[in-house]
Structure 1
Amino acid sequence: MKVLGIIPARYASTRFPGKPLVDIQGKSMIQRVYEQALKATSLSKVVVATDNELIAEAVRNFGGEFVMTAPAHQSGTDRCAEVSRHFPDYDIVVNIQGDEPFIDPKQIDLVVSCFEQNGIQLATLVKAIHTNDELFNNNIPKVVMNSKQEAIYFSRHTIPYLRNAEKEQWLTAHQFYKHIGIYGYHAETLQEITKLAPSSLEIAESLEQLRWVENGYTIQTRITTIETIAIDTPEDLHKI
């Protein structure tokens, strides 16, 4: 099983323009993500997917590999699909978030482990929620799974709704999970899902994975205990 790790990196960002190039103690964010990804034992190759010459030059300077992509992609998934076509001999593609400079390589390996089972189309990670701040934060997508740990639904709202318990008691009455935004795709499935039209659930929640669920694709999950920190704004740099 050959696994391709792709790090989508775009310069344009409403909240933090140019964030892949921000300096974090002597290294750019994209370099830190790239170096962490190289530590994942499951990956056969790591490449950066970008449409920006400044990012490409930065990757070239630290000895990384990159692929220039079209500028019009609406999501990292679309960018990964374009890059994947350059490497047709890879079975699995992992979409590694370019704004998590200290991503744990074990999380990448955990996603890839889903594909040790036959027939897996898509994979992602979830993490148990332990605080009310996370549970009721609409910026943190939640996920519910079936008995096979396949994702049934994702929502920015708190799901499931506990009808017979006060909200202050929800954390003790039920185990909730949040979604960790790293994806694994079977290479053929990746090409298929990027041809799908945006779905009504996706538009309602602004979560692209709902397009896949709504079209009947199965998303296998694994539970991680590792916390990740994404850099969405300049203020987030203080977290790391």
Structure 2
Amino acid sequence: MSASERTAAVVIPARLGSRRFPRKILARETGKYLIQHVWERVVDCPRVSRVLIATDSEEIVEACASFGAEARMTSAEHRSGTDRVAELAENLDEDIIVNVQGDEPYISHTDILTLLELFAGPASGDGQGAGTVMATLAAERRDSAGFHDPNVVKAVVSADGRALYFSRAPVPLALPASSEEGAGPVDWLQHIGIYAYTREFLLCFAGLEPTALERREKLEQLRVLENGYTIRIGKAQGQHLGIDTEEEYTRFVEEEKRRKEGGAISEGS
């Protein structure tokens, strides 16, 4: 089956409680809820049959209804956003489920289509093409601040596009050739908070027990690698900003103000 023949749904997990930035999903200093910014970026994406929001909060359901989004209640007991997405996926018919984080307001149609293309082509033994069960994105960066920031997740990727590891630590570490080197920028890959899975694998993933590295790094995608599955990595385009703290949200608000002053842009471009 070609990529264009496989159906896809986007599910946005949205939990009201957040350890580092409580109630960030409903932050509204731009005039729109944060979750609304994300929804508007993906709602009209080609090849996506529908966009749903999975939440544990009636308040979020009501907020989403105010701007036309469909939100569904899920269990408050889920350990992760993926588990929340999987609960909805049990009752969906689409072949591929795309998990867009509710705090990634710069996700674009291009990002989603890049992910879906990783499921195209003939199946291969190393989990490529139609054999892909899970995919995500990474963006090229060259700065020292983000590289050493534990809130920014780094991806280590093989030459053929397979995830080798994800970490909050600065990896892969570039050892300086001498004591005078090493203070400048380094090339690295930032993991972007968007995933796609076959529906069958998503349900399998949600049934796996949390693993040692997952608990240590607090990165649920490590559960996939530790269980021997392959994650394909696509190249993200444009600007990306995951909002985990109030400081990051403040920067987003300032960026949105500059965008409005500079003229309107299309939501999904």
Quote the offset at 1:19 in angstroms.
Answer: 1.8
Matching of residues 182-197 of structure 1 within 5 Å: 182-197=194-209
Number of residue pairs matched? 236
Is the 1:33–1:98 contact (alpha carbons within 8 Å) kept by the matching residues of 2?
yes
Q: In the alignment, which of 203, 220, 230 is matched to residue 218 of structure 1?
A: 230
Partner of 1:207: 219
Residues 1:76 and 2:81 are matched in the alignment: yes
Match of 1:120? 132
Contact 1:229/1:239 (CA < 8 Å) preserved in 2?
Answer: no
Per-residue Cα deviation, 1:21-43 (whole angstroms, up to 9, x for no partner): 22143322222211111132131
The answer for the alignment partner of 2:248 in structure 1 is 236
* Distance of 1:163 and 1:20 partners within structure 2: 39
Once residues 49 and 78 of structure 2 are traced to their aligned partners in structure 1, the CA distance between those partners, rounded to angstroms, is 25
Cα deviation for residue 181 of structure 1 reads 1.4
Judging changes above 3 Å, is the alpha-carbon distance between structure 1 residues 162 and 18 closer, same or farther for their aligned structure 2 residues?
closer
Map 1:120-159 to 2 at 5 A: 120-159=132-171
Task: Tell me the SS of whatever aligns to 2:78.
Answer: coil
Q: CA deviation at 1:79?
A: 0.4
1:134-184 Cα distance to aligned partner (Å, 9 max, x none): 22222222111112101011122222233453423672xxx4212111111
Mean Cα deviation higher: 78-87 or 110-119: 110-119
Are 1:50 and 2:55 counterparts?
yes
CA contact 2:175–2:182 (8 Å) conserved in 1:
no
Task: Spell out structure 1 runs of 4+ moving beyond 6 A.
Answer: none
Check conservation: 1:123, 1:184, Cα contact below 8 A.
yes
Q: SS state of the match for residue 147, structure 1? A: coil
* Aligned residue type for 2:183: E
Aligned-pair Cα RMSD in Å: 1.7
Task: Using the aligned pairs only, state the percent identity.
Answer: 40
What amino acid sits opposite 2:137 in the alignment?
Answer: L
Q: What secondary structure sits across from 1:167 in the alignment? A: coil
What is the rounded CA distance, in whole Å, between the counterparts of 2:37 and 2:189 in structure 1?
Answer: 28
Name the amino acid aligned to 1:98. Answer: G
The answer (yes or no) to whether the contact 2:104–2:241 under 8 Å persists in 1 is: yes
- TM-score, normalised to structure 1's length? 0.92
Distance verdict in 2 for CA 1:230–1:161, change over 3 Å: closer
3-state SS of the aligned residue for 2:48? Answer: coil
In the alignment, which residue of structure 2 is the partner of 1:11? 16
Matched, 1:167 2:182: yes
Deviates most, 47-56 or 148-157? 148-157
> Closer, same or farther in 2 for the Cα pair 1:190/1:145, shift >3 Å?
same
8 Å Cα contact 2:13/2:100 also seen in 1: yes
Q: 1:32 maps to what in 2?
A: 37
Alignment partner, residue 96 of structure 1: 100
* Structure 2 residues not aligned, in runs of 5+: 1-5, 121-128, 253-269
After TM superposition, the score normalised by the length of structure 2 is 0.82
Alpha-carbon deviation of 1:77?
A: 0.4
Partner of 1:140: helix, strand, or coil? Answer: coil
Q: Which residue type is aligned with residue 203 of structure 1?
A: R
Which SS does the other structure have where 1:124 is aligned? strand
The one-letter amino acid of 1:58's match is A
| Unaligned 5+ runs, structure 1 | none
